[in-house]
Chain A
Amino acid sequence: MRRIVSGPLTGLLASSLAFCALPSTVLAATPSTALPTLSTISAAATYPDAVLVGPEEAPDDGGDDIVVIDDDEMDGDEPVVEGGDSPPEDDGDIFGDDSDTEPDDGGERTAGQAPGKLDPESERQQIEAEMGLISVVQRQRMLKKKRFEIAPQLGLTINDPYVRHYTFGADLNYWLTNRMALGLTATGLLGALTPRYDNIRFQQGLLLTANKTLWQANVNFTYNPFYGKIAIFNRALLHWELATTIGAGATQTQVIPRYKALHDPFNTITGGGVLGFVARTYMPNIDWISYQAGVRVWAYPDKLEPLGRGPDTDPGGRDDIALDDASAAKDASDFQLAFNVTVFLGVSFFFPTSFEYTTPR
Chain B
Amino acid sequence: MTTRKLITICAFLAGAVAMPSIAKAAKPGPLVGEPIVRKKLQLRKFRFQITPYIGMSLSQPFVHMGYAGARIGTHFADWVGVRAGFGYGVVALDSRLLRAIDDGGLPVGVAPGENDTSVPNGPQCPAGPPCRELAESANPAPLLHDFQAGLTRAQWQGSLDAVFTPFSGKLGLFSSLFTEYDIYIFGGLGLMGWNKHYKDVESTSEQLGVPTDPADPNFCAVDGSGQNSECLLHPVKADDGVKVGGSFGAGVNVFLSDWVALNLEVQDIVTSNNLAGLNATFDDIPPVVERADSNAFHNVTMQLGARFYIPFRAKRTK
Contacts and interface: CB of A to CB of B under 8 A. Distances in A.
Given A203-B276, A206-B106, A29 B38 contact: yes
Interface in B1-49: 29-31, 34-41
Contacts, number: 120
Contacts of A225: 173-174
A65 to B, nearest CB: 28
A202 B280 contact: yes
Nearest to A138: B175
Contact of A204 (B30, B101, B178, B295): B101
A345 to B, nearest CB: 15
- Mostly, the A contact residues are loop
A231 B169 contact: yes
Nearest to A95: B170
Contacts of B209: none
A187 B97 CA distance: 29
B201 to A, nearest CB: 15
B168 A205 contact: no
A225 B175 CA distance: 9
A93 B39 CA distance: 6
B105 interface: yes
Contacts of B170: 93-95, 136-137, 228-229
Contacts of A135: 172, 175
Nearest to A90: B38
A170 interface: no
B259 interface: no
Nearest to B176: A136
B280 A199 contact: yes
Contacts of A233: 79, 166
Given A200-B61, A205-B141, A226 B31 contact: no
Nearest to A209: B100
B101 A206 contact: yes
Contacts of B172: 95, 135-137, 226-228
Contact of B61 (A33, A196, A231): A196
Nearest to B293: A203
A7 interface: no
A237 B36 contact: yes
Contacts of A33: 30
A189 to B, nearest CB: 20
A97 interface: yes
A92 B170 CA distance: 13
B141 A136 contact: no
Contacts of B59: 161
B167 interface: yes
B300 to A, nearest CB: 9
Contacts of A238: 167
A229 B35 CA distance: 15
Contacts of B279: 203
Contact of B35 (A97, A227, A234): A234
A135 B38 CA distance: 19
A93 B29 contact: no
Contact of B40 (A93, A136, A205): A93
Interface string A59-71: 0000000000000
A93 to B, nearest CB: 6
B278 A87 contact: no
A177 interface: no
B39 A95 contact: no
B61 A161 contact: yes
A333 to B, nearest CB: 17
Counting chain B CB atoms within 10 Å of each CB, the highest count among A100, A137, A236 belongs to A137
10 contacts: A28-B34, A31-B318, A87-B29, A93-B170, A135-B172, A136-B170, A200-B61, A206-B101, A230-B167, A234-B37
Interface of A: 26-31, 33, 85-87, 90-95, 97-98, 100-101, 135-137, 161, 195-196, 199-200, 202-206, 208, 225-238
